[in-house]
Structure 1
Amino acid sequence: MEQAVRVVSIITPVHEISAPYLTDAYASLLKQELPAGWQWQWLVQEDGETGTIADFLPKDERISYGMGRHGGPGVARTLALGRAEGELVKVLDADDQLTEGALARDIRTLDEHQDVGWTTARVLDLMPDGSTVGWEHSDPPGGPFERGTVYEHWRQHHRLPVHPATLCARRQLLLALGGWMALPTSEDTGLLFALSIMSRGYFIAEPGLLYRKWPGQITGQDTHTDARQRAERERIIQARAEALLALFPTKAAHQIHEHLSEPAE
């Protein structure tokens, strides 16, 4: 009797300006060697309805292309989640690339640690000249994250200890949380906080992502760095995290609440 194939679904939101980079993202998928019995599915979701993104995609039955009204990357990701067949869901932005072995490390970690709901990994910035440099923040040691500790770290230091662009999570957990927040940016930060409050996580110390630095990236735009807009996003992201903590207290919750009266830096 044949063993059922297990699937990891990779979700990629894309708009026209980043579409040319899909070729590199696909090449990085082709280099992935998965554990026996596993295969990947690539869900490419256009943030819009031009249909032109399909021209950048190869003919591959593992690719599922979708379109939807413009609503930002969070909406696009969540729409793609509705087509996900995998028990695991991996994020991959259109302009980024997976490192060799990234998917296998995610799969093995979540298979070996059934009490862990999500993983992140080390990031290398991919510079315009093709060189790579380490992420601007110090990486934590490899290993598990207890519930609530990622949010606690953000509350204390106002920065993330891990990069949400490397997330891989169990699909059922993602669905239970409603997918990504409906925000113009930082939707993955909101999801990371929610995941970390609801489940233990795991940081993989090996590099898992090449994070492209280029003028068109969303995180480099004025609308992302504008202080007023950033404060508005953080207000709802934090409110959601606090609501989850109130409903599902963690060991770290008392440490977090010590800082609630302090203004964010």
Structure 2
Amino acid sequence: MTGLITVVTAMHEPSAHFLPAAYSSLREQKLPDGWEWQWLIQEDGESAGVSPHVPDDRRISFEQGRSGRAAMARTMALARAEGQYVKVLDADDKLTPGSLARDLAALTDNPDVGWATSRVLDLLPDGSTLGFDQDPPQGVLERGTVLTHWKAHDFRAPVHPATLFVRRDLLLALGGWMALPASEDTGLLLALDAVSRGWFTAETGLLYRKWPGQVTGQAAHTHKGEREARMAVVEARAKALAALKGWRFKAN
């Protein structure tokens, strides 16, 4: 086998019923000859309601652990990661056809690029979709591009962290996802942006499900004081990484 892609999913019980749809979108991915995926599902907590929805597939590994939010669940899953690359897939989202192959090509064709993202469509409860109107052009994202846009647009990045595809060694070097109650994926995205060039694919790579139980849709997610604190530490970390002399991703 030439290579392996590790797909990481943080789980909590209310979204477990979406797992079969996520699995279907992953199973339908077509990869180049010699490439395969493994799917690491890590529950944030130890309920009895997730395991019945985990598909029976030798490529899937399911574990549980102490509750600590999505950042901890994803980072704990990395203990089982064997792939050269790590792909994020939230339990309630779906990959589009060809998404993994496009991500893989972006990094294998551009060895000086450390991470890749792609266009997202919100998947609304009625089945319709809605796109983002500030996508960058397809291609390389120079270091600092994400932070500059994020600061100028009320802490909204130009690319979606739920589509992240990243070199595993770079992800580990940055410590995985930030230890925050939310925005942990944005924190990682800005850290990657500080030390490495990225890539954006203009073709839609993810359907981002909107539903009433979504964590980012709850009132606590937009609490002013907490949101300001999260954004402050995310920005401070990105700036500190960018200022470190010699701390840059370099291809082997």
TM-score (norm 2): 0.95
1:124 aligns with 2:107: no
What does residue 147 of structure 2 align with?
151
Runs of 4+ in structure 1 off by over 4 angstroms are none
Q: Is the 8 A contact 2:194 2:239 kept in 1?
A: no
**Map 1:64-79 → 2, pairs under 5 A:** 64-79=61-76
For 1:210 and 1:247, the matched residues in 2 are separated by 36
Q: Letter of the aligned partner of 2:226 in structure 1?
A: Q
**Map 1:48-197 → 2, pairs under 5 A:** 48-135=45-132, 137-158=133-154, 159-197=156-194
In the alignment, structure 2 segments of 5+ residues that lack a partner are 248-252
What does residue 14 of structure 1 align with?
11
Please state how far the C-alpha of 1:156 moved relative to its aligned partner. 2.6
Q: Letter of the aligned partner of 2:152 in structure 1?
A: Q
In structure 2, which of residues 202, 225, 238 is the aligned counterpart of residue 241 of structure 1?
238
Percent identity at matched positions? 59
> Which has more radius of gyration?
1
Please state how far the C-alpha of 1:246 moved relative to its aligned partner. 1.7
In the alignment, structure 1 segments of 5+ residues that lack a partner are 251-265
- Larger mean Cα displacement after TM superposition, 44-53 or 178-187: 44-53
Q: Is the 8 A contact 1:180 1:188 kept in 2?
A: yes
Question: Is the partner of 2:152 in helix, strand or coil?
Answer: helix
Between the two proteins, the alignment pairs up a number of residues equal to: 246
TM-score (norm 1): 0.90
What does residue 255 of structure 1 align with?
none
Q: Is the 8 A contact 1:6 1:86 kept in 2?
A: yes
Question: Is the partner of 2:130 in helix, strand or coil?
Answer: strand
For 2:151 and 2:244, the matched residues in 1 are separated by 19
Please state how far the C-alpha of 1:180 moved relative to its aligned partner. 0.2
For 2:243 and 2:111, the matched residues in 1 are separated by 25
Please state how far the C-alpha of 1:53 moved relative to its aligned partner. 1.2
Q: Is the 8 A contact 1:91 1:167 kept in 2?
A: yes
